[in-house]
Chains A and B, each alone.
Chain A
Amino acid sequence: MMVRHKIVLHFPHEQVGKPVVSKLVRDFDIDFNILKASITPREEGILVLEVTGEQKNYLKGLEYLESCGIKIQPLSQDIKRDEAKCTHCGACIAVCPTEALTIDRATMEVSFDDDECAACELCIKVCPPRAMEVHY
């Protein structure tokens, strides 16, 4: 069975220089799409991936990553909307690249579908009432 997941990898300092992800392709036949990558000032790496592959390969791949000391989180936990703060203006719609943020044209309310969210964080600062929050 093919699976597709969006995951956040937290690399410890000593793993940042190693080609860990390319091994996923070579040894586990997992396709990946990098949604976001950054290295913090403490030289820890954060990599947001969309991975696609056979379920059993995916699980083996995760085991391999964990054996390298990489912490794995599902992505959906990372961007949240504070429903009380959102004024449903729609300013975020202009910048959201994955259409995770959309407007229902009948109610004219903004909805946030975290399955579609790539955690690019463009909406965070664009939201005038600061209703979008990032949690790593």
Chain B
Amino acid sequence: MAKTIAEINEKIKKGEAVVVTAEEIIDLVDQKGLEEAAREVDVITTGTFGPMCSSGAFINLGHPQPRIKISRAWLNDVPVFSGIAAVDIYIGATEMAEYDPLNEVYPGGFNYGGGHVIEDLVAGKKVYLRADSYGTDCYPGRQWETEISLDSVKEAWLYNPRNAYQNYNVAVNLSDRVLYTYMGVLRPQLGNANYCSAGQLSPLFNDPLFKTIGMGTRIFLGGGIGYVVGHGTQHNTGTARTQTGAPIRPSGTLDLSGELRGMSPRWLTGYSMVGYGASLAVGIGIPIPALNEEVVKAAAVRDEDLIAPIVDYSLDYPQGTGKVLGEVDYAQLKSGRIEIDGKEVMTAALSSYSRAREIAGVLKDWIRSGDFTLTQPVDLLPCEARCDSEEVS
């Protein structure tokens, strides 16, 4: 029996909606069968929390007197992009504080970057703004130094051009030296295998063919409310897929935005990746309307059915050879040990599964309380893949 988003929203407003997490739906389908589970459930909540470098925030600072057209600016010594209107800036998550020695003392610590500025802002802290300008007739101000906070600025929007990657590489190191990567520290000769996805809880693994998540979908973002703007950068849906439609390589991505006020440092956390750079860990939760059996079946996917590629970060990734050493499923990855070429290799995650679980729970509570209703996407996201089993690998 198919449902519409409008019907589901009616139930949410009455406090009658049946909401389960992407973990709970697995057991429910097991116990009651797909047909019954799809009839009973209205919404399935997903979650993910991990470093997402392609994140940042647009801020309108409001004008000082006299007005200023900012040419260059820094927040806590982290340079921001100011090549837009007078007091609009964009702070990117990976931008480093100007005094940071980067990798000159290798491996660098990258202790404070744009991601940390964003964390400080949502924590309610004051951040030091320094700006200069060449001055114009309409904007005579040349210098501006002041403390800003989320209360003092006009607008502040988290704007992340690429988040919530649908699947990701498992990074290993075949070389003889330690590697410091955006996938963490990789010890030599297959010392460890690092992965970064919430697997069965991850938003795009639960809607692998973008049947419900689209432009305008309202989401949990950084602890507040956000929206799917569209597909993210590097969105690539032409990848090989499993029978349920889940890609076996990094695939779709999302472009997300939401008001920074209302977000929290628990869900927007500045990260320092030793020897690599700064980033921002972003918490995202996306509701999936249980429209029909097909949607519920896809959302009931389990870790053992989700496959990730193992990639060597000493040669194949940096050189872009495209070579994949092997494949592994997320249940194996989460067990803590996988086997590569007959060798037992320990695994470590960069994506926090316990936080992903917490997000799916929070979003479930929001929906059950009637505070959070679902949105009809304005448009669906581009998807080259189709879900007929002949086509999938």
- Listed in ascending order, the chain A residues whose CB lies under 8 Å from chain B are 87-95, 103, 105, 107-109, 125-126, 128-130
- Is A91 within 8 A of B269, CB to CB? no
Q: A90-B348, A91-B350, A94-B194 are in contact. Are A126 and B184 (CB under 8 A)?
A: yes
Chain A residues with Cβ below 8 Å from B184 are: 91, 94, 126, 128
A105–B331 Cα distance when bound, in Å, is 11
Q: A91-B184, A125-B274, A129-B271 are in contact. Are A108 and B350 (CB under 8 A)?
A: no
- Is B336 positioned at the interface, with any CB of A under 8 Å from its CB? yes
> Interface centre among B274, B348, B351, by most A CB within 10 Å?
B348
Binary CB contact string for chain B from 118 to 148 against chain A (1 if under 8 A, 0 otherwise): 0000000000000000000000000000000
Of the candidates B50, B111, B336, B346, which one forms a contact with A130 in the assembled complex, judged by CB atoms under 8 Å apart?
B111
- Is B271 within 8 A of A109, CB to CB? no
Chain B residues with Cβ below 8 Å from A103 are: 336
- Is A89 within 8 A of B50, CB to CB? yes
Chain A residues with Cβ below 8 Å from B51 are: 128
Q: A87-B269, A90-B348 are in contact. Are A128 and B194 (CB under 8 A)?
A: no
- Is B334 within 8 A of A108, CB to CB? yes
Q: A95-B185, A129-B269 are in contact. Are A87 and B107 (CB under 8 A)?
A: no
**10 A-B residue pairings within 8 Å (CB atoms):** A88-B352, A88-B353, A89-B350, A89-B351, A90-B349, A91-B348, A95-B192, A125-B272, A128-B51, A128-B184
- Listed in ascending order, the chain B residues whose CB lies under 8 Å from chain A are 49-51, 107, 109, 111, 184-187, 191-192, 194, 269-274, 279, 281, 334-336, 346-355, 357
Known: A90-B348, A94-B348, A109-B354. 11 other contacts (CB 8 A): A87-B49, A87-B355, A88-B353, A88-B355, A90-B352, A94-B187, A95-B185, A107-B354, A125-B107, A126-B185, A129-B281
- Is B270 within 8 A of A93, CB to CB? no
Q: A94-B346, A126-B185, A128-B350 are in contact. Are A108 and B109 (CB under 8 A)?
A: no
Chain A residues with Cβ below 8 Å from B355 are: 87-89
A89–B49 Cα distance when bound, in Å, is 9
> What's the minimum C-beta distance from A120 to chain B, rounded to whole angstroms?
13
Dominant secondary structure at the A interface: loop
Chain B residues with Cβ below 8 Å from A130 are: 111, 272
- Is A88 within 8 A of B354, CB to CB? yes
Residue of B nearest to A128 (CB): B271
A93–B87 Cα distance when bound, in Å, is 44
> What's the minimum C-beta distance from A47 to chain B, rounded to whole angstroms?
24
Chain B residues with Cβ below 8 Å from A93 are: 336, 346, 348
Chain B residues with Cβ below 8 Å from A88 are: 352-355
Chain A to chain B: the 9 pairs with minimum beta-carbon distance, closest first: A94-B348, A128-B271, A94-B192, A108-B353, A90-B349, A125-B274, A89-B352, A93-B348, A108-B354
Residue of A nearest to B273 (CB): A128
- Is B271 within 8 A of A108, CB to CB? no
Q: A105-B334, A125-B274, A130-B272 are in contact. Are A95 and B187 (CB under 8 A)?
A: yes
> What's the minimum C-beta distance from A46 to chain B, rounded to whole angstroms?
21
